[in-house]
Structure 1
Amino acid sequence: MLALLLSPLVSCASQSPKPISDPVLPDSAPASAPVVTDQVTRRQVNFAYLSDQRITQAFSGEWKVVKTPVWVQYTRGSGDVFDLSLRAVRGNADFQALTQPSLTGEIVIAWKSKENGQSGQTSWPVSLNMYQVSGTTAPHQTSGPDARSETWTPPAAQSSTQDYIVTYKTRAARDTGVLAYTRQALRAAPSVLSIQVSAAPPADPLGARSAMVHGLSQADVGATRRDPDVLSVEPNAELHLQSNEMSPLQAPLEPSDQYYPNQWAMRLLGYPAVWRDMATTPYQHPVVVAVLDTGVRYDHPDLAGVLLRGVDGAIDLIPREKSDDDNGVDSDPTDPSFLGRTMGSHGTHVAGIIAARWGTFTPPCAGCSSSGVVGASYTAPVKILPIRIIDATGTTTIAETVNGIRYAAGLPITVGGSTFTNSTPAQILNLSLGSLMSAETAAPLCDAIAEVRKKGVLAFVAAGNFGTSTVNYPAGCPDAVAVASVTLSKSGAPEHSSFSSAYPQVQLSAPGGAGSSSAAFNGSLLNGTPFPDDIMSTNWDYSKNLPNYSGMSGTSQATPQVAALAALMLSKGVTTNAEDTLARLDATATDLGQPGRDNQFGYGMIDPVAALGAPAISAHEGIQVYADDGHTYGALMNGNTFVSYLPEGSYTLVYGTDTNGNSTYGEKGEAHTAKRFVLGLENPDVKLGFLNH
């Protein structure tokens, strides 16, 4: 069976630390203190830059660890002695701790002696050094001319002599003038060797009719300007090519819909710049995105006008024998309501990410929202073709999925002896579903995706929420575009979602959330409570039979982000076919994690601003540090110097400009420099020196 790819709450299993030789650890008790036998001895644990410690002592009785810092894992040894292995995991430290060069805490051991019956608790102070990288960046411009263009600056206050450019009427006049200035300099100099310290002004030819005259006095300026062969005498003013070259910044365009502040993914992808582009540039080509899912709620007011109906090809392909709407295959892909249903409408959630409408509408009930959320498509003529292949329990079959893929692309299918052909073929397919199966089992899925690819249809498929390297299908099919999930790191930059599967077929990634309600780094509030890093979109409350909104996490939510961007590229006309669209998505993606394509991110997180050529809306500079393991960290700035405290690992530090306002620096088309480095016991403190871009 294939299932929806909503995120389970996945936690990483801890590795057991490898035993090492006993460390020399001082006892905190004074040397003169009486010795009390058979108790867990107090000691100070200082990892320094190490990651593992093993502590043993003679002890007969019961003991347990009752407290450790979050960054310390432990494993008990076997046998009757006290044997405790400790592992420091710097990456588990909370965000505030990662702003310090070292971590401190305590380990508390509760014990009861078998030998003498004594019991107690022993506290061990524990400390750990963070690894660090540091350097200096180019000074930021904070004043002066437009920082985004090449401009003349006013000349500085003039001294008694200054360099001037003299422009003559002809080349011959220029040559005569240069010769005159040279002779003047020679007459004033005691020797040719001392000409550079002479007060007389030497001159150098400059271009066809000009000469650079060095150290010209104000009296000489007046005399030169009176020369009938001279056109002009002007200071050699400075030109400044500043932070980067681009047009003046445009204002971001952001909606006022009620839950837009919770849609952190739209801002992470730079959509305020894309929507500004839509306000001035035609996105005029109609595009159909087929959402192969649980069906949709046509009565959701935030989806009014964007969902194609049965007359336009929408269809329910779930056969009567397993139908939960009592209709079987028909032209109504409504996600049905029935007694006792509690699960929301997954297909409605996916559709809203792509195309939820902007602005207000009549609220469907007292207390219901009158504006809701927004989809990526804004004013672009992007329509959703609902194709219902998943039942209300969240499952479908290979046969139903194959029929849905082929039908969406306009190929005829036969179900129950009847033939169906879609009257409105889609250019883009969204499949937020999948399952772990063999390539042999998945062959019909892969054949269907290959068949529609030949017709110029792109199938974007959720990579899976299993948090492993096992291939998920149909995402693993050669012609599918597998989409992984990113969420926000503690520093607010994109990083790999822990639940997102990682394998060689992953091609792109997009925001899909954290998969845990405890992760709330986007800074928004919902009803006064921090909103987690979930993807907010349209949904349905089946207990009340009313439209609502909710956050979900998973590669199910990441996939429609990519499908929406592909649709916008075709709508604007920056690409015209499937191959060009996919190539541009790959080429403009933001490289995260390991440099180049990798199993966690594919070619990287999609960048709508770069893919669509949207205008710049910001010009901030900053630093992000991308770990090869998929995590992302920030840096502490003090003027132009920076430092970042990190776990051991391999990293890429990017210092760059943010032109799309998403607080991710140095994406495609943004000025940046990148440095690779490795931190660990042999390289605990890396200095990158001066960085410029």
Structure 2
Amino acid sequence: MRFAFWIVLFLAGCASNSSWPSVALPDEVVLRGESGTLRLRVGSNVAWTLKSDADWLTVSPAQGLGPASVQLQAQPSGDPPDGRQYTTTLEVGGDLKATVAVRLPLVWVTGQVADLGQGQALQAQALGLPALGSRGWSPHKAPPPSTEVLVKYRQAPQPSRLPLQAQLRSLDRAHRLVKLKSPNPQALLEALRRDPNVEWAELNGYVRAQGEAIGEPTDEFYPKQWYLKTTGARFSYLGNFPYPVTVAVIDTGVRYDHPDLAGRLVLPGEGAYDFVRGQPDPTDPGDSSSPTGGSHGTHVTGIITAGSGPFPPACPTCTSSGIVGVDYNAPVKVLPLRVLDESGNGSFENVALAIRYAAGIPVVVGSQTLQNPTPAQVINLSLGALTYSQAMCDAAGDAIARGVLVVAAAGNYQADAPGQLVYPAACPGVISVAATDLNNQVTWYSQQNSHVTLAAPGGDIAQGIGAGILSTTWNYQLNQPNYTYYMGTSQASPQVAAALALLLSSGKAKSGAEAWSLLESNLTHLGKPGRNDAYGKGLLYLPSAFGWPLPKGDYAVDFLGPTNRQLATTGGAFSTYLMPGTYTVMVCRDDSGNGLCDSGEPQTSKTLTIPPTDSLDLGLLLLTP
């Protein structure tokens, strides 16, 4: 602990003419880690209080009588304004009137990550030695200039008459092709092109493998769908999906006339149904309380199965390609089932009916018995209530018993009802999905409880409009299709439902249980080790569940400790400010490009201590294959 200098105060007693003992307070306290001590050297009868407006610092005790050692505990939840240190001022009250500055300087931490072979090359380079074992360090290194020339003759070539000291390397008499080598290939080319017996001549050049972008969608709004990068769903073009799958979306209904959903929906008469109006057309009539609210069910549906490629624009300024759904290149259709009315409310009874109906179980609606001719293998429920419902949980149990995967939004009540259970997400066997933001942190609204199964991007528009989840919806004022950013566990849940459908469509999983097992075993861990109430068992991640061969990426470094950091690197180099303390450091090659250390990516971890110093170079961190 370092104190800058002392302020000595002499206070007069109110009850007598005698002087109180001298009072010594530090002008400044500098914390060298998560905790520190403020020593109050005061008289035994001096009453004091301490107050700080900083949310990163707690003081214990905050008041007392006489000398004391006050514990200062740093618990920052965000970065300091200047990025380098946390500062605040303690107001000293009671019999004292003074201030004490508290400062927590951060440590500038740098380092370099490399694969084992690349690390050997870097170490050799630092020593001024030839690089060994560095294959792959420069994946786009230009090939050496060619010294070979390919020639096609009009008549049978005569190897004995080679120009300009050219060497014969190969001869194909059938096609009159010759490969020549020369120390001056350009001069050789010019001589051959003047030869009337030469049909053509060219340098024997090189070709190079092309990048992974050749298979990605070209839809206009695809670059705005950051959540497809986070989960690795953007790499689905690397897979094959021969088997048709149906996902039931139990929601507000859908707009069948949205062009991005053409051919991607189960139609009225094929199994779609409106349980609010008791008829087979679940077209969403819109939100009566908010004409600009769009169509919730259409938004959820687009996240799952919006198509890829051009379509006729709905208006002169409308897009002709839009977005893509997670399942855009698979034969996955959404079965729309409407249970939420124009005010956004739905009864437990209708939700229970829709769940059983979606699973192919006969249900009675009014005086008629209905059986779905297009049973779903996956059910998505982007809805919920804080009240337990036996009806909904029994229906979910019946569907699960048939092998149907039931996925539900964990709920958006965390700010007002922290930790409370939301149903049907908390029903036994239901996959409950929490929401993360653009920075892979659990969102402020996402329910945190013991029933959260996993997390997926749900967005947070408070971070910027583009930090929401972009998908299909409907403009009821202009009566035309559009695209809107929403946020919520309602947007996280359909991404999980779509991923499960994709596993079934690929044939990697033969049943719902197999699909969930594959997905569950390849989640990306977030937060403290083990399952936790915020993220469940981890963040949705597709590539390793499918075994897609991803192109090699740059590196990512995650620090978990007093300060949590997820860092992307540039050429393996990283730098950041950290609080002093003990950290678990995860280092990986970020092949998916989402800034996380995901399942299937080469990675390693270690525990290290960041001492209270100005800067620290961690040196070279090596990844083994």
Superposition TM-score, scaled by structure 1 size? 0.65
Q: Which residue does the alignment assign to 1:543?
A: 477
Q: Which residue does the alignment assign to 1:129?
A: 105
One-letter identity of the residue aligned with 1:356: A
- Structure 1 residue 534, shift from structure 2 partner: 1.4
Q: 1:689 to 1:507 in 2, by over 3 A?
A: same
- Report the Cα distance in structure 2 between the residues aligned to 1:394 and 1:456, rounded to whole angstroms: 29
Q: Which residue does the alignment assign to 1:555?
A: 489
Does residue 27 of structure 2 align to residue 43 of structure 1?
yes
One-letter identity of the residue aligned with 1:285: Y
- Structure 1 residue 363, shift from structure 2 partner: 2.8
- Structure 1 residue 504, shift from structure 2 partner: 3.0
Match of residue 426, structure 2, among 434, 457, 476: 476
Give the alignment of 1:382-531 within 5 angstroms. 382-437=332-387, 441-467=388-414, 468-489=418-439, 494-513=440-459, 515-517=460-462, 519-520=463-464, 531=465
Q: Which residue does the alignment assign to 2:179?
A: none
Give the alignment of 1:100-115 within 5 angstroms. 100=84, 103-105=85-87, 107=89
- Report the Cα distance in structure 2 between the residues aligned to 1:392 and 1:52, rounded to whole angstroms: 57
Q: Which residue does the alignment assign to 2:233?
A: 271
Match of residue 564, structure 1, among 468, 482, 498: 498
Q: Is the 8 A contact 2:212 2:551 kept in 1?
A: yes
Q: 1:104 to 1:611 in 2, by over 3 A?
A: closer
**1:197-251: CA deviation from partner (whole Å, max 9, x where unpaired):** xxxxxxxxxxxxxxxxxxxxxxxxxxxxxxxxxxxxxxxxxxxxxxxxxx99644
**1:102-130: CA deviation from partner (whole Å, max 9, x where unpaired):** x054549799x999xxx9xx986542034
Match of residue 279, structure 2, among 318, 327, 330: 330
- Report the Cα distance in structure 2 between the residues aligned to 1:78 and 1:640, rounded to whole angstroms: 49
Does residue 219 of structure 2 align to residue 257 of structure 1?
yes
- Report the Cα distance in structure 2 between the residues aligned to 1:572 and 1:26, rounded to whole angstroms: 66
Q: 1:651 to 1:290 in 2, by over 3 A?
A: farther
**1:293-328: CA deviation from partner (whole Å, max 9, x where unpaired):** 11111222222221222111111112xxxxxxxxx2
Q: Which residue does the alignment assign to 1:526?
A: none
- Structure 1 residue 333, shift from structure 2 partner: 1.0
- Structure 1 residue 287, shift from structure 2 partner: 0.7
- Structure 1 residue 636, shift from structure 2 partner: 8.6
- Structure 1 residue 391, shift from structure 2 partner: 1.8
One-letter identity of the residue aligned with 1:294: T
**1:582-602: CA deviation from partner (whole Å, max 9, x where unpaired):** 110111112222334333323
Give the alignment of 1:212-361 within 5 angstroms. 250-251=212-213, 253-275=215-237, 277-278=238-239, 281=240, 283-318=241-276, 328-337=277-286, 341-342=290-291, 343-361=293-311
One-letter identity of the residue aligned with 1:600: A
- Structure 1 residue 86, shift from structure 2 partner: 7.0
Give the alignment of 1:364-379 within 5 angstroms. 364-379=314-329
Match of residue 602, structure 1, among 532, 536, 542: 536
Q: Which residue does the alignment assign to 2:79?
A: 93
- Report the Cα distance in structure 2 between the residues aligned to 1:582 and 1:303, rounded to whole angstroms: 26
Q: CA RMSD in A?
A: 4.4
One-letter identity of the residue aligned with 1:633: R
Q: 1:267 to 1:637 in 2, by over 3 A?
A: closer
Match of residue 591, structure 2, among 645, 656, 659: 659
Q: 1:368 to 1:632 in 2, by over 3 A?
A: farther
Q: Is the 8 A contact 1:71 1:93 kept in 2?
A: no
- Report the Cα distance in structure 2 between the residues aligned to 1:329 and 1:656, rounded to whole angstroms: 53
Q: What is the SS of the residue equivalent to 1:537?
A: strand
Q: Is the 8 A contact 2:245 2:333 kept in 1?
A: yes
**1:523-548: CA deviation from partner (whole Å, max 9, x where unpaired):** xxxxxxxx442111112233333322
- Report the Cα distance in structure 2 between the residues aligned to 1:402 and 1:358, rounded to whole angstroms: 33
- Report the Cα distance in structure 2 between the residues aligned to 1:504 and 1:380, rounded to whole angstroms: 34
Q: 1:148 to 1:505 in 2, by over 3 A?
A: farther
- Structure 1 residue 640, shift from structure 2 partner: 7.0
- Report the Cα distance in structure 2 between the residues aligned to 1:332 and 1:249, rounded to whole angstroms: 45
- Structure 1 residue 501, shift from structure 2 partner: 2.2
One-letter identity of the residue aligned with 2:490: S
Q: What is the SS of the residue equivalent to 1:91?
A: coil
Q: Is the 8 A contact 1:595 1:652 kept in 2?
A: no
Q: Is the 8 A contact 2:408 2:424 kept in 1?
A: yes
- Structure 1 residue 563, shift from structure 2 partner: 0.7
Q: What is the SS of the residue equivalent to 2:545?
A: helix
Q: What is the SS of the residue equivalent to 1:92?
A: coil
One-letter identity of the residue aligned with 1:49: G
- Report the Cα distance in structure 2 between the residues aligned to 1:566 and 1:90, rounded to whole angstroms: 37
Q: Is the 8 A contact 2:557 2:588 kept in 1?
A: yes
- Report the Cα distance in structure 2 between the residues aligned to 1:447 and 1:412, rounded to whole angstroms: 15
- Report the Cα distance in structure 2 between the residues aligned to 1:663 and 1:557, rounded to whole angstroms: 21
**1:374-397: CA deviation from partner (whole Å, max 9, x where unpaired):** 211122111111001112322222
Superposition TM-score, scaled by structure 2 size? 0.71
Q: Is the 8 A contact 1:104 1:125 kept in 2?
A: no
Q: Is the 8 A contact 1:618 1:661 kept in 2?
A: no
Q: 1:677 to 1:507 in 2, by over 3 A?
A: farther
Q: 1:680 to 1:336 in 2, by over 3 A?
A: farther
Match of residue 669, structure 1, among 593, 600, 603: 600
Q: Is the 8 A contact 1:636 1:644 kept in 2?
A: no
Q: Is the 8 A contact 2:554 2:571 kept in 1?
A: no
- Percent identical pairs in the alignment equals 34
- Report the Cα distance in structure 2 between the residues aligned to 1:148 and 1:608, rounded to whole angstroms: 28
Q: 1:124 to 1:680 in 2, by over 3 A?
A: same
- Report the Cα distance in structure 2 between the residues aligned to 1:410 and 1:648, rounded to whole angstroms: 58
Q: What is the SS of the residue equivalent to 1:461?
A: strand
Count of aligned positions: 524
- Report the Cα distance in structure 1 between the residues aligned to 2:555 and 2:548, rounded to whole angstroms: 19
Higher relative contact order (CA 8 A, sep 6+): 1
Q: What is the SS of the residue equivalent to 1:588?
A: coil
Q: What is the SS of the residue equivalent to 1:401?
A: helix
**1:457-495: CA deviation from partner (whole Å, max 9, x where unpaired):** 100111222333333222122211111222233xxxx23
Q: What is the SS of the residue equivalent to 1:447?
A: helix
Q: Is the 8 A contact 1:408 1:429 kept in 2?
A: yes
Q: Is the 8 A contact 2:33 2:580 kept in 1?
A: no
Q: What is the SS of the residue equivalent to 2:588?
A: strand
**1:441-466: CA deviation from partner (whole Å, max 9, x where unpaired):** 43332221221122121001112223
Q: Is the 8 A contact 2:264 2:334 kept in 1?
A: yes
Q: 1:145 to 1:677 in 2, by over 3 A?
A: closer
- Report the Cα distance in structure 1 between the residues aligned to 2:352 and 2:541, rounded to whole angstroms: 30
- Report the Cα distance in structure 2 between the residues aligned to 1:96 and 1:573, rounded to whole angstroms: 52
Q: Is the 8 A contact 2:585 2:606 kept in 1?
A: yes
One-letter identity of the residue aligned with 2:588: G
- Report the Cα distance in structure 2 between the residues aligned to 1:570 and 1:255, rounded to whole angstroms: 22
Q: What is the SS of the residue equivalent to 1:434?
A: coil
Q: Is the 8 A contact 2:531 2:537 kept in 1?
A: yes
Unpaired segments ≥5 residues, structure 1: 1-22, 155-246, 319-327, 521-530
